[in-house]
Amino acid sequence: MAVADDLDRATDSTDPQWAWVAEQTRAYLASGGAVGHESNGLRTLILATTGRRTGVPRRTCLIYGTAGDDFVVVASKGGADEDPAWFKNLLAEPSVGVQVGPRRFTARARPASAAERGPLWTTMAGLFPLYDEYARKTDRVIPVVVLTPRE
């Protein structure tokens, strides 16, 4: 079960394709959220999940939007044909650690319901239009994830 305290001890992706994400994640955490929270008009958060096979905390940096008190992220993986590992991890264990700017909290993650997905997708694609391009690149339905703070 990932919690806010796992953000610092979690590991980053070792895939060279995503090295820039790992670098941004480390800068974000080292600065207490002062560096990397907002970049080019986009806001990002750090998400810590529990590895579904290893049990080891994993983390990544994601663009986010909001829906009421919840945070919303998209499991796009750049339009790849498979879901990102972090999404598979939260399906196995929905308790996650989150950092938004300086704020850290534990949240419950869940895929958006069918009724929620359309409006949330529109919101997220409005923030980051490449999501629509990613959706055209793949046959999978790209998941939208709702993060509900527990505190």
Predicted local confidence at residue 102, as pLDDT: 95
Number of structural domains (the chain) is 1
**Domain containing 71: what range?**
6-149
Return the CATH number at 84.
2.30.110.10
User: Counting every residue, how long is the chain?
Assistant: 151
Q: Does 101 map to a domain?
A: yes
pLDDT tens track, the chain, 151 positions: 666 676 666 666 666 555 667 787 888 888 888 888 888 889 999 999 999 999 999 988 899 999 999 999 999 999 999 999 999 999 999 999 999 999 999 999 999 999 999 999 999 999 999 999 999 999 999 999 999 999 7
Q: Does 1 map to a domain?
A: no
CA 84 – CA 57 distance, rounded (Å) = 15
CA 69 – CA 91 distance, rounded (Å) = 21
